[in-house]
Chains A and B, each alone.
Chain A
Amino acid sequence: MIVRKIGVAIGTLFVVVTANFFLFRVVQTDPVAAVYRGRNLSEAKKAELEERFNLNGSKLDQYVGYLEQLSHGNLGYTLNSQPVSSEIAEKLPTTLKLVGTTTILTAVIGIWLGIRAGWRPRSKFDRITTGITMFFYSTSDAFFGLALLYLFASKNPWFPTGGLIDPNSTATGLNRILEQFHHLVLPGTVLVIGYLGQYSLVQRAAMLETSGEDYLTLARAKGLRDSLVRRRHAVPNALLPSITLIALNVGYTIGGAIIVETTFSIPGIGSELVRAAKGPDYALLQGIFLLISAAVIAATLIADLLYPRFDPRVRTP
């Protein structure tokens, strides 16, 4: 079973790699010309570049060459002749900070809201949270970000208007981290509030499903207080779908990060992807897409493998 799941994940990744190669080869017939737009090029230099862009031989040879390149961790070169991998490595920490922090916050707050709302369906609390989460779920992240910028950075200058750090900043160590954190408050808020619904709705449904179970009636018959019934008996059983959701939502959150990084001019993977698409810098676009896909596939696989560990009910004999 485990082997099968890992096999499926590898297969999915393989399809991404293959699509990545052929999609881009269809549009990009001559990357060398793209770099040297019309400038004169010595034969030797041209041969070197062709070697570097892996353009020798048939399409199949090139494909095999691409796979070989990838297996060495080589993602090719950007239009500025920088290795794609180092470009990504430079931008990745920012996005990881943003996505990591917001994922944890969204999950914790969303699950908490869902537990409360699902325990007393149709209560005032339930109506309000469901209404609010649905509202923000329906807003464009870009608009939400712009509105926050207007309210809390332009009108009331409490937060910086963008970027990750003030270019003139001399702060070091802890202060530098704090300053970065200050820059990430507004973009983080967009991601957290915008994606709360993902967790709260699923958690609410899970609570509703458990609320009819016999073991809750038994717990109540024992004379347990309502809050104890909820905490000890209902929540642990209703928590599983949300926990796997954390991994499954990585893809959505990365999508949100692309929008937010663009709105707040944060130099991360998301804004880099947009920049690459606008260039267009195909090698960079290819590399970032591969990285994001691999991350999502890995997260899905982890969720898939962990689920039976948490929940014996879905363990297959």
Chain B
Amino acid sequence: MTETQVQEATQSRRLLARQRKLRSFGRLTKEFRTDTAGVIGGVVLLSFIVIAIATPLLFSSDELDRTLQIDQPKLASPSGEHLLGTDDKRRDMLAVLLWGSRTSLSVGLAAAVFAITIGALIGICSGYFGRWVDAVLSRIEEWFLVIPTLPLAIVLVTVLGGSLRTIIIVIGLTSWAGSARLIRAQTLTVKQRLYVERSRGLGAPHRHIIRRHIFPNVMPIILANLTLTVPVAILSEATLSFLGIGSFERESWGKTLEAAHAASAIRLGAWWYFLPVGILITTVVLSFTMVGNAVERVVNPKLRER
């Protein structure tokens, strides 16, 4: 074969592979679309993310500075001027909530990505290498599964200091173990397949087998787990902030709940201080869960019967 022929051959192989991937992606999207709950969740999430990104265009960050709100009413109920009322620091609640959504969503996403990265690394290594690697990693995994998450998170945040970055790391550290276990199980079944055996027989190094065979085949599980871990992470962040543990740098939904509690919004009947934020948290968490369930159903046909 001449050099151009070789090039053509590899190129057409890549083209074929790309077409195959596009086709299977199209099939999966089509299947996802049949899941009404998943589609609704997806639409809600997308709009939340768009609004969160657009927040600086709607409200300047000055709205969060209590020293600039002296002329505003304190704990005012919703009106034309303040659609969701104001808080005890005279700030517009809508602005506070939208700015808070940026923190809550980004911390949730970042923590979930971190958790799944650890989970995937440990799960794949554990399942692929087996023997003592598996034994050691499984012990670590079990430890994190047994130890209660919230107390551990509280201790870690207290010890490591409560910046936004530590919160992300701590939530990630306390929520990877379940996914690692599922990814390990999937790795074990992929490892048994013939093409992996063939590849090993041809002398492929571990790195190649993991990258080209194992990883693409556990990717669907990783994706499903990622979507299902985000809501957990968002709730964890809200809980830690509500308890007053952790980041005080920025507004977040958990912090709004904490502020409402501290300002006795309940006793004063200021429902606009805690009801909208609660609805927001529930809606976002529910949407992520619905999308996650739909993704899981698409990538794991065994679940479809139920």
- Interface residues, chain A, with chain B CB atoms under 8 Å away: 8, 11-12, 15-16, 23-24, 26-27, 121, 134-135, 138-144, 146-147, 149-150, 153-155, 161, 205, 208, 250-252, 254-255, 258-259, 262-263, 273-274, 277-278, 280, 285, 288-289, 292-293, 296-297, 300
Contacts and interface: CB of A to CB of B under 8 A. Distances in A.
Query: What are the 4 closest A-B residue pairs judged by CB atoms, nearest first?
Result: A143-B278, A251-B148, A255-B150, A138-B285
B239 A141 contact: yes
B282 A142 contact: no
Contacts of B231: 138
A140 B278 contact: yes
Contacts of A139: 278, 281-282, 285
A155 B146 contact: no
6 contacts: A138-B235, A141-B239, A147-B275, A150-B266, A154-B266, A259-B239
Given A140-B239, A140-B282, A285-B158, A251 B149 contact: yes
B44 to A, nearest CB: 12
A146 B273 CA distance: 11
B163 to A, nearest CB: 14
B8 interface: no
Given A138-B282, A142-B238, A255-B150, 15 more contacts: A138-B286, A140-B281, A140-B282, A142-B242, A150-B266, A155-B269, A259-B239, A273-B154, A277-B155, A277-B157, A277-B158, A277-B245, A289-B151, A289-B155, A300-B146
Dominant secondary structure at the B interface: helix
Contacts of A258: 150-151, 154, 243
Nearest to B235: A140
A154 B269 contact: yes
Nearest to B287: A138
A121 B143 contact: no
A141 B281 CA distance: 11
Given A154-B266, A285-B158, A289-B151, A140 B238 contact: yes
Contact of A278 (B239, B245, B275, B306): B245
B277 interface: yes
Chain B: number of interface residues, binned into ranges? 35 or more
A258 B245 CA distance: 12
A263 B148 contact: no
Contacts of A252: 148-149
Given A23-B159, A154-B266, A293-B147, A142 B142 contact: no
A256 B155 CA distance: 16
A146 B274 contact: yes
A186 B254 CA distance: 21
Given A16-B147, A258-B151, A263-B261, A140 B242 contact: yes
Nearest to A209: B306
Contacts of B131: none
B59 interface: no
Given A12-B146, A27-B159, A140-B239, A255 B282 contact: no
A161 B286 CA distance: 29
Contacts of A259: 150, 239, 242-243
Contacts of A144: 278
Contacts of A135: 282, 286
Given A154-B269, A161-B267, A278-B245, A142 B239 contact: yes
Contacts of B157: 277
